[in-house]
Amino acid sequence: MNFVGAHVLSVSQFDRDAIEQVFTVADKMEPYAHRDRVTRVLEGAILGNMFFEPSTRTRVSFGCAFNLLGGEVRETTEIKTSSLAKGESFYDTARVLSGYSDVIVMRHQTEGSVQEFATASRVPVLNGGDGSNEHPSQALLDLYTIRKEMAAQGKDIDNLRIALIGDLRYGRAVHSLCRLLCLYRKVHFTLVSPPELSLPDSYVDEMRAGGHTVIESQDLAPGISHADIVYVTRTQEERFPSQEEAEKYKGLFRLNQSIYTQFCEPNTVIMHPLPRDSRGNANELDNDLNENPNLAIFRQTDNGVLVRMALFALILDVVHLVDKYARDVSWYTAKRF
């Protein structure tokens, strides 16, 4: 895959080589994300960070990644303050906004909207999430985290045993991750969800067709008992037809330290696309796991910055220049990574 000037809209664009390319660059970004070094390679470049649906984490992560490469960020955070509210088409919005910046990240609640936008854009577009459809940078950071966590245990993504827990129907992070994992060999999937929120058949079929093992279950304990990764999700209430409908499924599967100790193998890594819902009626991942060193959820979000820096560097073709425009950091930096 040639990244230079490319849109990143879907995980289906990626093969193993392309993924490896992103991850190799992401590794190189560590000194910058960890504030040992500063690079100014994109000084003067502008990111259009266009979030037409609420988001803090993804929006700030993309913006921060661009800043860490030395670039500037112009941001939009709400649809009602945008021309889209005055009847403007995605085509027009894209033609206009792509005159303002060097690259665009876009999130919008409508499935397919970002693809439509990209078609008309004059600069590369990264999909920051389009409804329940795609969120490719999330899938890449999840996979990057799996690779890192497994490497620390001397393991690989091939032959991975992963348990996916919760709302597997509306969780776009899970969908995209499954698609990426299918690029590897003999992954063992355990899918734990209520029947109504099970992973859509198309994904299960694809996984089986690729030679992977898929076990579906409605029972948490056996599901997590032979896994390298336990990937827990929040009930995506904003995607449900009604709040009442969503409430029925909250809190059905809850992982906490005592269940972990009782059923998981030692060093089973816990992941979650975040935000986790810590309200009493949901609480899919208990706070008593916070001191568990296998809880990788904040390493995931840290990795997100690395992966997004890598995507920007590849698309804008500055990978080879990042170190050239670098210097040491001269301010206090917390030892936080």
Query: Given strand 46-51, what is the order of strands in its sheet?
Result: 72-76, 46-51, 103-108, 125-130
Phi, psi of 270 (to 5 degrees): -100, 125
Pick from 16, 100, 211, 222: which binds a second copy (CB under 8 A)?
Answer: 100
Minimal distance in Å, beta carbon 134 to a second copy? Answer: 19
Minimal distance in Å, beta carbon 271 to a second copy? Answer: 14
Pick from 10, 21, 26, 102: which binds a second copy (CB under 8 A)?
Answer: 102
Pick from 28, 30, 82, 110: which binds a second copy (CB under 8 A)?
Answer: 82
Please state, in angstroms and as integers, the Cα–Cα distance from residue 119 to each residue in 62, 84, 111, 113, 124, following that order.
Answer: 21, 17, 15, 10, 10
Q: Which stretch binds a second copy (CB under 8 A): 179-187, 218-226, 232-240, 256-264?
A: 232-240
Minimal distance in Å, beta carbon 89 to a second copy? Answer: 4
Contact status: 89 vs a second copy (CB under 8 A): yes
Q: Which stretch binds a second copy (CB under 8 A): 55-63, 127-135, 138-146, 198-206?
A: 55-63
Rounded to the nearest 5 degrees, what angle is found at the Cα of 76, between the Cα atoms of 74 and 79?
Answer: 165
- E-strand spans in 193-279? 213-217, 229-232, 269-271
85 or 221: CB nearest a second copy: 85
72 or 216: CB nearest a second copy: 72
Pick from 12, 13, 27, 54: which binds a second copy (CB under 8 A)?
Answer: 54
d(C-alpha 111, C-alpha 170), whole Å: 12
102 or 228: CB nearest a second copy: 102
Residues 136-155 that bind a second copy (CB under 8 A): none
Number of helices (H) and strands (E) in the chain: give both, helices first.
12, 11
Contact status: 9 vs a second copy (CB under 8 A): no
Contact status: 128 vs a second copy (CB under 8 A): no
What's the sign of the alpha-carbon dihedral 283, 307, 327, 59?
A: negative
Closest alpha carbon to 126 in 2, 8, 14, 13: 8
Contact 313, 29 (CB under 8 A): yes
Contact status: 205 vs a second copy (CB under 8 A): no
- Total residues contacting a second copy by CB under 8 A comes to 85
Residues 272-311 that bind a second copy (CB under 8 A): 274-279, 282, 287, 290, 297-298, 301-302, 305
Residues 13-32 that bind a second copy (CB under 8 A): none
Contact 31, 37 (CB under 8 A): yes
Phi, psi of 262 (to 5 degrees): -75, -40
Pick from 28, 30, 31, 95: which binds a second copy (CB under 8 A)?
Answer: 95
Contact status: 97 vs a second copy (CB under 8 A): yes
Looking at residue 145, its amino acid is T
What x/- string results for residues 105 through 124 when contact with a second copy is judged by CB under 8 A?
-----------------xxx
Minimal distance in Å, beta carbon 74 to a second copy? Answer: 5
Query: Given strand 161-165, what is the order of strands in its sheet?
Result: 213-217, 188-192, 161-165, 229-232, 269-271
Contact status: 214 vs a second copy (CB under 8 A): no
d(C-alpha 69, C-alpha 55), whole Å: 22
Q: Which stretch binds a second copy (CB under 8 A): 13-21, 174-182, 187-195, 329-337?
A: 329-337
Contact status: 46 vs a second copy (CB under 8 A): yes
- E-strand spans in the chain? 37-39, 46-51, 72-76, 103-108, 125-130, 161-165, 188-192, 213-217, 229-232, 269-271, 326-328
